């Protein structure tokens, strides 16, 4: 099992920025970020009492698979609220986003940025509807939640190193949101509707349409019966 050093910053631009200067197997979390960011260049809105953290790992050959390893580690850490994972790595509670994950590489490092809404969440201007743990009657200190995530992450990494992605994939699918259901996937130049049929051995989303099966490696997923939070 990997052992992580935990560092706290009262304020920083983003924990991913700080993490670039830290050694591997270090996790940094912050009380406030001035320039937090999410997937695809979006801004990540922080809130007092929430968990904003970045975890530094050695850069693996299949770094993109750690999106699934990380999201599974978070979902396991808040299993008491029956979370679901929306491909590739958003954590939902009752259909609303409670956690976002951003993977970045820097030199020989993989940096996993994780934001979990514990005490509060953005109310407007988000791509998806959001929620927080407190809204569902549960709360936890940010450091305690980070410790739980690191413990689960360490176990997942060990499993991945010994057995590969196959067992991670199967467990991720147990938490997956919308399998067998109609979804819309927004790509840079088009939107595609189809049935979410799972993920393949490389983590690509399997989308079944009337004419073909497509394998999607990047995009924004929406449940057909869900709506964007305008």
pLDDT value at 226 more than 60: no
pLDDT at residue 38, rounded to an integer: 55
Residue 193 has pLDDT above 90, yes or no: yes
d(CA 23, CA 15) in angstroms, rounded, equals 14
Report which of residues 139 and 47 the model is more confident about.
139
**pTM value surpassing 0.85:** yes
Of 52, 74, 38, nearest to 119 by C-alpha is 52
User: Is the pLDDT reported for residue 88 higher than 90?
Assistant: yes
- pLDDT value at 156 more than 90: yes
Give yes or no: residues 18 and 116 share one domain. yes
For 116-152, what is each residue's pLDDT tens digit? 999 999 876 567 889 999 999 998 999 999 999 999 9
Tell me what the mean pLDDT of segment 52-81 comes to.
Answer: 97
Q: Are residues 10 and 65 in the same domain?
A: yes
Q: What is the domain-level CATH number for residue 129?
A: 3.30.930.10
Report yes or no on 229 lying in a domain: no
Q: Mark 92-118 as b/e (b = at least 16 C-beta within 10 Å).
A: bbeebbbbbbbbbeeeebbbbbbbbbb
219 and 119 housed in the same domain: no
Q: Which two tokens stand for residue 8?
A: 């706290």
pLDDT at position 2: 81
Per the domain annotation, does 230 fall within a domain?
no
75 inside domain: yes
On whether residue 228 sits in a domain, the answer given is: no
Mean pLDDT of the chain: 91
Residue 51 lies in a domain: yes
Q: How many distinct structural domains can be found in the chain?
A: 2
> Are 136 and 32 contained in the same domain?
yes
Tell me if 97 is assigned to some domain: yes
Q: Would you say residue 130 lies in a domain?
A: yes
With 80 as the cut, is the pLDDT of residue 189 above it? yes
Higher per-residue confidence, 189 vs 55: 55
Q: Within this chain, do residues 97 and 201 fall inside the same structural domain, yes or no? A: no
Predicted pLDDT of residue 229: 34
Q: What is the DSSP string of 49-66?
A: T-EEEEEEEEPPTTGGGH
List the CATH number of the domain containing 206. Answer: 2.30.30.100
In a domain, 165, yes or no: yes
Of 9-18, 37-46, 138-147, 198-207, minimum mean pLDDT range: 37-46
Q: Which domain holds residue 144?
A: 5-175
């Amino acid at each position: 099992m990997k052992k992580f050093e935990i560092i706290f910053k009262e304020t920083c631009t983003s924990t991913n920025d700080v993490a670039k200067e830290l050694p591997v197997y270090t996790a940094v979390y912050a009380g406030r970020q001035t320039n937090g960011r999410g997937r695809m260049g979006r801004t990540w809105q922080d809130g007092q009492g929430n968990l904003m953290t970045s975890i530094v790992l050695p850069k693996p050959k299949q770094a993109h698979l750690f999106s699934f390893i990380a999201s599974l580690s978070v979902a396991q850490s808040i299993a008491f609220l029956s979370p679901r994972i929306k491909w590739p790595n958003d954590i939902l509670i009752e259909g609303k986003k409670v956690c976002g994950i951003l993977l970045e590489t820097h030199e020989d490092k993989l940096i996993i940025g994780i934001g979990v809404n514990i005490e509060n969440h953005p109310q407007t201007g988000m791509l998806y509807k959001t929620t927080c743990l407190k809204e569902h009657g549960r709360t936890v200190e940010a450091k305690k939640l980070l410790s739980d995530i690191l413990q689960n992450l360490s176990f997942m990494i060990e499993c991945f190193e010994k057995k590969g992605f196959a067992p991670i994939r199967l467990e991720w699918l147990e938490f997956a949101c919308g399998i067998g259901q109609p979804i819309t996937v927004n790509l840079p130049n088009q939107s595609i509707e189809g049935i979410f049929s799972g993920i393949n051995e490389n983590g690509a989303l399997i989308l079944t349409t009337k004419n073909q099966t497509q394998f999607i490696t990047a995009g924004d997923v929406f449940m057909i019966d869900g709506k964007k939070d305008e």
